[in-house]
Amino acid sequence: MRLEFKKVRPEEDADLPLPAWQTAGAAGLDLAAGVRENLTLAPGEIVLVPTGWAMALPEGYEGQVRPRSGLALKTGLTLVNTPGTIDWDYRGEIQLPLINFGREPLTICRGDRVAQLIINKVERPQVVVVSELSVTVRGEAGFGSTSG
């Protein structure tokens, strides 16, 4: 499989790093903030942060944008829609709807690694309406039904 990335603003964003895995075992490619100037988020504030990159996913794949776990734990920075889905046919800039769930203002600097991108194969099953569903031990038991 091939994953193609394109700089959205090549001259302005020449300094932004290509999304990349940080270790051989990493599942997600880190995404860096493409903010023009340092951006300070107040607690509870939401902002859409550009990355400077667009990509071409192969048909049948999706990108999931997720928080970086260490950053979320240490600062409270996360994504509003976690995970965010990027469909295979989207070719626009990858943008990150970030929120500061921390108790203190948080500054995001240009090039800070603020999220990660996971690539997954997508199955499209046939959707069928039936009159009965198969029976399981759990049945219709919902939220919290499997906790001890």
Domain region containing 33: 4-121
Q: How much is the pLDDT for 139?
A: 85
Q: Sorting pLDDT into bands at 50, 70 and 90, what band is 120?
A: very high
Q: Is residue 98 part of a domain?
A: yes
Q: Which tops the pLDDT comparison, 141 or 21? A: 21
pLDDT at position 148 over 70? no
CATH of the domain at 50: 2.70.40.10
Residue 64 within a domain: yes
pLDDT at position 146 over 90: no
Considering the domain boundaries, does residue 145 fall inside one?
no
Average pLDDT estimate for 62-80: 96
For the segment 100-124, the average pLDDT, to the nearest whole number, is 97
Identify residue 126 by its one-letter amino acid code. Q
Q: What counts of helices (H) and strands (E) characterise the chain?
A: 1, 10
Query: Would you say residue 130 has pLDDT above 70?
Result: yes
Q: Is residue 139 part of a domain?
A: no
User: Would 147 be classed as within a structural domain?
Assistant: no
pLDDT at residue 88 greater than cutoff 90: yes
Give how far the C-alpha of residue 22 lies from the chain's centroid of Cα atoms, to the nearest Å.
16
Q: How confident is the model at residue 11 (pLDDT cuts 50, 70, 90)?
A: very high
Rounded to whole angstroms, how far apart are CA atoms 71 and 75?
A: 6
Q: Quote the pLDDT of residue 94.
A: 98
